[in-house]
Chain A
């Protein structure tokens, strides 16, 4: 691979990959390791991508795979019962008090099945289809996880900010 192209792909995506990795691992050190593992794979196999515009989806998919390979799928996916209540959700005017640490704290409290699509949704504003491709789940699953995840997140934000 042309080193200039490699550098371009690093510059385009490493920051959001780091944020995605942080949302999965929950700490800076593991997130940085994950991003490095991902780009190490890209350095070896990236030339197989005929269209480098697809590098973004490839990188996110690979990072996710590396995360689960490392953790050996420690966290079990589960559907948790959740009672939605609009009165518990944070309102737009309350968001002014939010800082990045609080945002990360709230995100970290979500189960990984909601954290993943939400992070991709917020960071990259990826389409449902792109998120579905990265997570290898049907688009309907993405929509429902996003919906439920957002509801849980707003509830958590409300609680965190009120503490």
Chain B
């Protein structure tokens, strides 16, 4: 207590103690941290992203991979998520996000997993990867914080249509799950262990029943070390010959 100490009597002490029992809403701190200056996208990261995208498109044309595109897509999505990307549409409302996806992307018909509809969405954007148009949806979960879901038409991703079950893989500091549902391939990225990712997806209402997410398998076309289901998050470096960029 500072120079006012002498002015505090017993009534003041008791009143001050009561006043300090007033607690802010539990969400206030989280909302405030979103205002952090780093959350604002500056112009130069976007310029860098555009330049990197252009370079990577050239590299992609030169070094088009022969096998499944799933690992490359995971790597490039992880790189995008680690960059300063923008959400073209910000909303905390699932129906609004669904409508935006329908009106602005080519994956508007893709069904959103129950996980998304029961979480706290932040927004979404369109993706363009190797000529394939998809979408990215970002949302918060109580368990893992910020989680991202990318959706692409399976028919346009080589190797995706042969994917069965769900597969987990650590990439770029993220844990990524990939699976097919309907005509679409879904990539989920979260900062958690395999068990947490599994639990997150399987715990959402209706997930295991209609989405077939209860089973986790080995990814065809991915070597066994990177497809290990028991492995924790590991940072994977992708060779330039196998790397492509993603416009986000």
Cβ B35 vs Cβ A123 within 8 A: no
CA distance A7 to B29 in the complex (A): 9
With a cutoff of 8 Å between Cβ atoms, the chain A residues found around residue B8 in the complex are: 125
**How many CB-defined contacts (below 8 Å) exist between A and B?**
107
B62 within 8 A of A: no
The stretch among B10-18, B159-167, B184-192 that forms the contact with chain A is B10-18
With a cutoff of 8 Å between Cβ atoms, the chain A residues found around residue B35 in the complex are: 6, 36, 39-40, 42-43
How many of chain B's residues have a CB under 8 angstroms from any CB in A? 32
Specify the main secondary structure of chain A where it touches its partner.
helix
Chain B residue at minimal CB-CB distance from A10: B32
With a cutoff of 8 Å between Cβ atoms, the chain B residues found around residue A102 in the complex are: 18
Cβ B32 vs Cβ A14 within 8 A: yes
The stretch among B20-28, B53-61, B204-212, B240-248 that forms the contact with chain A is B20-28
Cβ B36 vs Cβ A6 within 8 A: yes
B14 CB to closest chain A CB (Å) equals: 4
Cβ A123 vs Cβ B18 within 8 A: no
From the candidates A1, A47, A127, A150, name the one contacting B12 in the complex (CB within 8 A).
Answer: A150
Binary contact readout A37-80 vs B (1 if CB under 8 angstroms, 0 otherwise): 00110111011000000000000000000000000000000000
With a cutoff of 8 Å between Cβ atoms, the chain A residues found around residue B24 in the complex are: 14-15, 18, 31-32, 35
Contacts A6-B37, A35-B28, A121-B4; A98 near B15 (Cβ below 8 A):
yes
B3 within 8 A of A: yes
A149 CB to closest chain B CB (Å) equals: 11
CA distance A24 to B7 in the complex (A): 23
B4 CB to closest chain A CB (Å) equals: 6
Cβ A103 vs Cβ B37 within 8 A: no
List 14 additional contacts besides A43-B36, A122-B16; criterion CB under 8 Å: A1-B36, A1-B37, A14-B29, A19-B20, A28-B25, A35-B24, A43-B35, A92-B10, A95-B11, A98-B14, A100-B19, A100-B21, A122-B19, A123-B16
